[in-house]
Amino acid sequence: MHDLGTLGGTNSQANGVNSSGWVAGTSEVSGGGPMHGFLSIGGTMYDLNNLVTNGSGITITDGGGYNAINDLGQIAGFGIVGGQRHALLLTPTPEPTSAALLLGGGALLALRRRRSLKSSNTY
């Protein structure tokens, strides 16, 4: 058993865990206050409302159940869109800066390898 903590309230509930140890569930934001969906990775709990795209119109406040998380990190649950409750599939996407760093690092490694191959092929 592991205490995940809360998002500031007194209660939280884990509903799903994947093979990487990521946990999805719901947590009170303040004592007796609304429930927010959360994602816990490596002992750090994230409010799912802070992870959705700004301006998307999605509010993840419903305690109706973030019941599942798969090995891709996708979370199945519920949220409020346009004032109505909807089933949601939340899919993680890398931040643009992370993707740019990964691509840039790959290009530098390829360039370095190319240079070392040229220098080792001299006669």
CB 71 within 8 A of CB 18: yes
pLDDT of res. 66? 59
Banded pLDDT at 33 (limits 50, 70, 90): confident
**One domain, residues 72 and 39:** yes
Query: SS3 of 74, please?
Result: coil
What is the model's pTM?
Answer: 0.71
Range of the domain at 97: 93-123
**One domain, residues 121 and 106:** yes
pLDDT of res. 17? 92
**How does pLDDT run across 65-111, given as a tens digit for each residue?**
557 899 999 988 888 888 888 888 888 876 655 555 555 555 555 55
pLDDT of res. 45? 93
**One domain, residues 24 and 11:** yes
pLDDT of res. 19? 95
**One domain, residues 1 and 46:** yes
**One domain, residues 88 and 98:** no
- Cβ atoms within 10 Å of 8's Cβ, excluding its own: 15
Q: What's the domain count of the chain?
A: 2
Q: Can you tell me the distance from the alpha carbon of 88 to that of 16, in angstroms, rounded to the nearest whole number?
A: 15
